[in-house]
């Protein structure tokens, strides 16, 4: 069945293998696409419960002179090494709680404080590849990252955010500006005072080739935002950025701190410590990234769950930001392995209640005055139906404009990040959480075009701009594709981003596993 290809153990291809190219890869495409995702779902006779528990498998697709080579290696994290050595799962993950042997003294563990439980988090960084300075890291959302060599995929070593900045969690979706600085956000749970969200920046020129000092040593805190609830900080997976502002969505999908602190004794996994409060609202924070000061207007909207932002920009005294939202948090439940292993028809039937992803545009007017008229829509942009209505108490209630339903894993032309833009790309999720098409959406015409092939499952599309491109969609889309058809080997698909037509494909004579996110690193020579 189809689900089995997602939750079966992947394997390494440690030496580069050459792909067989059909069509022609443009000679200007030179560089490496690094990708990350869960690739090992059992160790010995122990199995993980959740797809986001699988141990990280790093892939690289290297383009050079019209050819492509592929290689993959498991991230050699502390977690991986400990599990492999024990030949069983010994480190707890998001959906799998592991208890020590009964002969160890459970009481000595029972009185460990929350901070010890958190600092014993796994370092299985399976979500993305990110860059700080010139250092590349496999990351998830915990305080550990593992540095990797983008050429060989070797794991260089583990780094702890907490050695440089007080963070317990950090996103795996930072923003890069034109100078090469990296902006990211995290949450401080165990610090001084109440929990807070922290925005930080790592300057571009931090790398130190000779002495191997980490780029993070130059980290700068931009600002912090107090959590609205001490015991329930919002969960967040990404954030928005414009030229001048950071957009942070404080959603009603939250981390229950007390539950997290007692999860171990109550037999709960960390995944069960995420709570969606459908009756709460969503707060939208806009922070000036130069001064670190938040705009004082209280912008809020209805409850939603968001993982991925698409893009954000400023337009005529408004902040416009596009994100992908869900009506509830059922998405996580679908990825429990026992749910994924159902026959396709049962899977569709049992996920009828799945709230589909909605690409939505929110617009927050910045020029709000104390005397702005109550009860009227303050958005004056003409290209959107998004509303921002001033309430009696001076707060502003925001309702989005829905652009498209059924698209996830969004990508844009990165040269338009933080700028007014027209197109985004993504994986179409129509009847299940398994993407079976790639789509390009045009925000101006509100139409989309798609690429698809029967029995094929593409990964998140990555846009690479043509050299000297003027048009926003002048470039290529890269996506690795796996198939349930045994006659179709895995391939890297190269599409013309203007037409979404195939330019070439590179068939890979090795096993390739479905992944989550990645980063294209242009060749420097």
Q: Which residues contact 71 (CB under 8 A, 6 or more apart)?
A: 13, 14, 15, 16, 17, 59, 60, 62, 153
Q: What single string gives the DSSP state of each residue in 276-295?
A: E-TTS-EEEEEEETTT-PBP
**For 139, how many CA atoms within 13 A lie in the half-sphere containing its CB?**
27
CB 355 within 8 A of CB 326: yes
Q: Which tokens go with 9?
A: 């153990």
Whole-number Å distance between alpha carbons of 350 and 354 = 9
SS3 state at 492? strand
Of 115, 136, 238, 253, nearest to 186 (Cα)?
Answer: 238
Query: Can you give the pLDDT of all 525 residues of the chain as single tens digits?
Result: 566 678 889 999 999 999 999 999 999 999 999 999 999 999 999 999 999 999 999 999 999 999 999 999 999 999 999 999 999 998 889 998 887 654 444 454 544 444 445 445 789 999 999 999 999 999 999 999 999 999 999 999 999 999 999 898 999 999 999 999 999 999 998 766 788 999 999 999 876 666 678 899 999 999 999 999 988 999 999 999 999 999 999 999 999 988 887 877 777 888 899 999 999 999 999 999 999 999 999 999 999 999 999 999 999 999 999 999 999 988 888 788 887 777 767 776 766 677 889 999 999 999 888 788 899 999 999 999 999 999 999 999 999 999 999 999 999 999 999 999 999 999 998 766 677 899 999 999 999 999 999 999 999 999 999 999 999 999 999 999 999 898 999 999 999 999 999 999 999 999 999 999 999 999 987
Q: Is 173 annotated as a binding residue?
A: yes
Whole-number Å distance between alpha carbons of 313 and 419 = 5
Q: How is the chain split into domains, by residue range? A: 4-522
Q: Is the pTM of the predicted complex or chain greater than 0.75?
A: yes
CB 477 within 8 A of CB 500: yes
Q: Is 59 annotated as a binding residue?
A: no
Whole-number Å distance between alpha carbons of 375 and 386 = 15
Q: Is 113 annotated as a binding residue?
A: no
Q: Is 237 annotated as a binding residue?
A: yes
């Amino acid at each position: 069945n189809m689900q089995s290809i997602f939750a079966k153990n992947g394997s390494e291809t440690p030496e580069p293998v050459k792909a067989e190219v059909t069509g022609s890869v443009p000679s200007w495409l030179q560089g490496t696409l690094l990708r990350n995702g869960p690739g090992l779902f059992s160790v010995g006779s122990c199995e993980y419960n959740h797809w986001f528990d699988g141990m990280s498998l790093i892939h690289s697709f290297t383009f050079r002179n019209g050819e492509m080579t592929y290689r993959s290696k498991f991230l050699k994290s502390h977690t991986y090494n400990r599990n492999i050595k024990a030949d069983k799962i010994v480190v707890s993950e998001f959906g799998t709680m592991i208890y020590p042997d009964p002969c160890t003294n459970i009481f000595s563990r029972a009185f460990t404080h929350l901070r010890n439980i958190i600092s014993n988090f796994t370092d299985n960084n399976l979500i993305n590849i990110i860059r700080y300075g010139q250092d590349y890291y496999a990351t998830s959302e915990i305080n550990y990252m593992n540095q990797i060599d983008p050429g060989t995929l070797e794991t260089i070593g583990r780094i702890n955010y907490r050695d440089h900045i007080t963070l317990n969690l950090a996103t795996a979706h930072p923003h890069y500006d034109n100078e090469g600085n990296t902006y990211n956000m995290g949450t401080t749970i165990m610090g001084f005072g109440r929990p807070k969200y922290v925005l930080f920046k790592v300057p571009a020129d931090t790398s130190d080739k000779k002495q191997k000092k980490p780029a993070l040593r130059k980290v700068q805190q931009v600002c912090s935002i107090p959590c609205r609830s001490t015991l329930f900080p919002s969960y967040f997976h990404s954030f928005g950025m414009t030229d001048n502002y950071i957009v942070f969505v404080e959603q009603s999908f939250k981390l229950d701190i007390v539950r997290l602190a007692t999860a171990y004794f109550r037999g709960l996994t960390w995944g069960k410590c995420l709570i969606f409060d459908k009756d709460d609202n969503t707060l939208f924070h806009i922070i000036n990234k130069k001064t670190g000061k938040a705009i004082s207007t209280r912008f809020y909207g209805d409850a939603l769950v968001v993982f991925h932002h698409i893009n954000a920009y400023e337009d005529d005294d408004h902040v416009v930001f596009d994100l992908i939202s869900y009506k509830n948090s059922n998405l996580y439940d679908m990825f429990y392995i026992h749910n994924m292993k159902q026959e396709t028809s049962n899977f569709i039937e049992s996920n009828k209640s799945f709230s589909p992803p909605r690409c939505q545009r929110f617009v927050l007017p910045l020029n709000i005055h104390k005397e702005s008229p109550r009860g009227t829509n303050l958005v004056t942009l003409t290209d959107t139906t998004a509303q921002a209505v001033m309430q009696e108490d001076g707060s502003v209630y925001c309702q989005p404009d829905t652009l498209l339903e059924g698209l996830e894993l969004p990508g844009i032309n990165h040269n338009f990040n933080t700028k007014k833009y027209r197109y985004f790309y993504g994986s179409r999720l129509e009847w299940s959480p398994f993407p079976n098409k790639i789509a390009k959406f045009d925000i101006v015409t509100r139409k989309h075009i798609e690429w698809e092939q029967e029995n094929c499952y593409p990964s998140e599309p990555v846009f690479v701009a043509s050299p000297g491109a003027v048009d926003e969609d002048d470039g290529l889309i890269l996506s690795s594709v796996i198939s349930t058809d045994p006659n179709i080997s895995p391939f890297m698909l190269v599409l013309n981003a203007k037409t979404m037509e195939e330019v070439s494909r590179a068939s890979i004579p090795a096993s390739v596993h479905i992944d989550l996110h990645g980063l294209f690193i242009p060749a420097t020579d």
